[in-house]
A and B are shown apart, each in its own frame.
Chain A
Amino acid sequence: MIVDIKDLRKTYKGGFEALKGVTLGIKEGEILALLGPNGAGKTTLISTICGITNPSAGSVSVGGHDVVKDYRAARSMIGLVPQEINLEPFNKVIDVVTYSRGLFGKKANPAKIEEILKQLSLWDKKDARIMMLSGGMKRRVLIAKALSHEPRVLFLDEPTAGVDVELRKDMWDVVAKLKEQGVTIILTTHYIEEAEAIADRVGVINGGELLLVEEKAALMQRLGQKTLQVDLQAPVESVPESLASYNLEIAEGGNALRYHYDTSGESTGITRLLGEISAAGLQLKDIQTDQSSLEDIFVGLVKEGAA
């Protein structure tokens, strides 16, 4: 385990308990996505590992070094990309990135800085002042700063919040490349799709508790349930014989049929179902789909845990 978190607790002044005993091991070289709604404790967890807040109880070690007692060794291994775009507006891109490397105690290495800036498509902007950059470019600068000292563990706190689709894809590519280089990556997000796209494992966090950590594939199957509701022109009393294999449910007093399916399956069966509904002589009025929201999933997970 490159990051080992044991019973980590954080209570802020005023009594708010942001972390209620989180235990988590992160394997070297993996991409772990921490999924959770706003206020779940994702940022507090990262901040406590990286040294921005002090833990109230419990321990964290990175590469075997305790983040409090042996903070120099632990923090040297960590790169942090914060959620907010925090950059000195008047400085040049290359200067802020070079500064970060120095701050982490690494000898100046212009070739390495050049390599990082090129990898993030920032090289032609190296002499631009931060305030002249677009939001997406600024986010890349934050990543460049975090990578400047060649960390082995990279924390990305909601790297794609408020980022357009194209940039999000770019960001995912960058993460994939870093993984190839052997960097362990922990990212927080509240988009299920994001976790699905890039993570190896997914942790679900809510209310300061880690509800589960699972291999992505296993989790996605659980989270991928959707419901298709077909509203009919005329009510039916029973499901037509020809549709028996779909396990349909009659709803709204016979005015609708409900079909449960799995988006992560190879085929959802929707096309075939709709064809067969009309073949059975039923007239469609409307169709709607419903996916359990992240909040629903959390409720489900908590219930599951209690049962």
Chain B
Amino acid sequence: MNFTAVWAIYYSEMVRFFRTIAQSFISPVISTSLYFVVFGAAIGSRIDQVEGVSYGAFIVPGLIMLSVMTQALSNASFGIYFPKFIGTIYELLSAPVSFFEIVLGFVGAAATKALFIGVVILATASMFVDVPVTHPWAMILFLVLTCVSFSLFGFIIGVWAGNFEQLQLIPLLVVTPLVFLGGSFYSISMLPPIWQKITLFNPVVYLISGFRWSFFGTADVPVGLSLLAIFGFTALCMGIIWWIFKTGWRIRA
């Protein structure tokens, strides 16, 4: 293992993050506050409680998941796409590093950033509402695995993307709708019966449900299924990355 190289990649990715630390910090704080104003105050006053939890608290896990998923995706995909775009990828390819080390550096950095933002949002939300955490270890597990798996997914998108439009395509057209429709801001039980069935095809439902369970002890789907989903997704992404590096797809001719 070339740990020096992993650290070099990780560090240089984190430097970019810290160079814009104000934005990195302020933007999730502001967007979280806005969600609370809109959903908490405007809608929450009509909904009152969902499954015994105040609506303001109920949306917190979904809010965290929404930001963590999109941040992990965009950070990781940009992280590997940028060297491809400006040509500095030559150095990664000619360095004495394995693909595993490259992934560790980029995905580790992207996951760290996403985790940081998740924690900032949780802290911000705690200032608005009382957020109980019933199963803290499960909460950390779900949060970390989501950061890692979506960073892996983002890495794949970054390798695949041939231009900036493609880089945005999947996050915008697939992931954001799935996250919004995945029960970030509502419980599945609030949907009409037919949609309750259809929504089960949305993988994000399982992630949000499991994460919410770790807060409030209630879930839309069994927590075991949620765990299976997050581990399965992580494994799938790892498998695809392993294949990418084995074949050199879109990276090494």
* Residue ranges of A at the interface with B (Cβ–Cβ < 8 Å): 12-13, 47, 50-54, 71-76, 78, 80, 82, 84, 86-91, 95, 99-107, 145
Contact A103 B87 (CB under 8 A): no
Contact B4 A105 (CB under 8 A): yes
Contact A86 B94 (CB under 8 A): no
Given the known inter-chain contacts A53-B253, A95-B15, please indicate yes or no for A102 contacting B86, CB distance below 8 A.
Answer: no
A95 to B12 alpha-carbon distance, docked (Å): 8
A73, A75, A105, most chain B CB atoms within 10 A = A105
A53 to B252 alpha-carbon distance, docked (Å): 5
* Residue ranges of B at the interface with A (Cβ–Cβ < 8 Å): 2, 4-5, 7-9, 11-12, 15-16, 19, 82, 86-88, 90-98, 248, 252-253
A80 to B92 alpha-carbon distance, docked (Å): 11
A169 to B101 alpha-carbon distance, docked (Å): 39
Given the known inter-chain contacts A12-B253, A53-B252, please indicate yes or no for A80 contacting B8, CB distance below 8 A.
Answer: no
Contact A78 B253 (CB under 8 A): no
A80, A89, A104, most chain B CB atoms within 10 A = A104
Contact of B88 among A12, A71, A72, A88 (CB under 8 A): A88
Contact B90 A86 (CB under 8 A): yes
B-side contacts of A82, CB under 8 Å: 87, 90
A71 to B91 alpha-carbon distance, docked (Å): 14
Instruction: Sort A-B residue pairs by CB-CB distance and give the 6 closest, nearest first.
Output: A102-B8, A86-B87, A75-B96, A72-B96, A50-B94, A105-B2
Given the known inter-chain contacts A13-B253, A104-B5, A105-B2, please indicate yes or no for A52 contacting B12, CB distance below 8 A.
Answer: no
B-side contacts of A106, CB under 8 Å: 4
A-side contacts of B90, CB under 8 Å: 52, 80, 82, 86
Contact B12 A75 (CB under 8 A): no
A-side contacts of B92, CB under 8 Å: 103
Contact A87 B94 (CB under 8 A): no
A292 to B192 alpha-carbon distance, docked (Å): 83
Given the known inter-chain contacts A52-B252, A54-B252, please indicate yes or no for A105 contacting B12, CB distance below 8 A.
Answer: no
Residue on A nearest B10 in the bound complex, by CB: A102
A-side contacts of B97, CB under 8 Å: 103, 105
Contact A87 B88 (CB under 8 A): yes
B-side contacts of A53, CB under 8 Å: 252-253
A87 to B7 alpha-carbon distance, docked (Å): 20
A75 to B19 alpha-carbon distance, docked (Å): 31
Contact A51 B94 (CB under 8 A): yes
Contact of B5 among A47, A50, A87, A103 (CB under 8 A): A103
18 contacts between A and B (CB under 8 A): A52-B90, A52-B93, A54-B252, A71-B96, A75-B95, A86-B87, A86-B88, A95-B15, A99-B11, A99-B12, A100-B91, A101-B8, A103-B5, A103-B92, A103-B95, A105-B5, A105-B96, A107-B4
Nearest CB of chain A from residue B44's CB, rounded to whole Å: 42
A12 to B95 alpha-carbon distance, docked (Å): 22
A52 to B7 alpha-carbon distance, docked (Å): 22
Contact B96 A76 (CB under 8 A): yes
A52 to B89 alpha-carbon distance, docked (Å): 9
Contact A102 B94 (CB under 8 A): no
Residue on A nearest B92 in the bound complex, by CB: A103
A53, A100, A103, A104, most chain B CB atoms within 10 A = A103
A76 to B5 alpha-carbon distance, docked (Å): 12
A-side contacts of B11, CB under 8 Å: 99, 102
